Amino acid sequence: MGLAIAALGVGCILRPTAIQGYVVRTQPNNPFVGWMQRPSYRAYLRFMGLVIVTFGALVVMLVAGILQRCC
């Protein structure tokens, strides 16, 4: 699960334009769609990607530590 979370974060960092296009296309009734079309949304995606990758790495390290202690 931690690796999947980290992969999502990497996608946000490396492909923010693709994610931005997908969100704008699939959620036309979203009240934030105007902001989502701006370049600042891509910067937000990159920042959130860093946060998500960090969280995913922490989850992986936590699970590895738990498995190391019990097995």
pTM as predicted: 0.83
Q: For residue range 18-32, list pLDDT tens digits in order.
A: 999 999 999 989 899
Residue 13 has pLDDT above 90, yes or no: yes
Q: For residue range 39-63, list pLDDT tens digits in order.
A: 999 999 999 999 999 999 999 999 9
* Rounded distance between C-alpha atoms, residue 34 and residue 20, angstroms: 12
Concatenated DSSP letters of 23-59: HHHH-TT-TTHHHHTSHHHHHHHHHHHHHHHHHHHHH
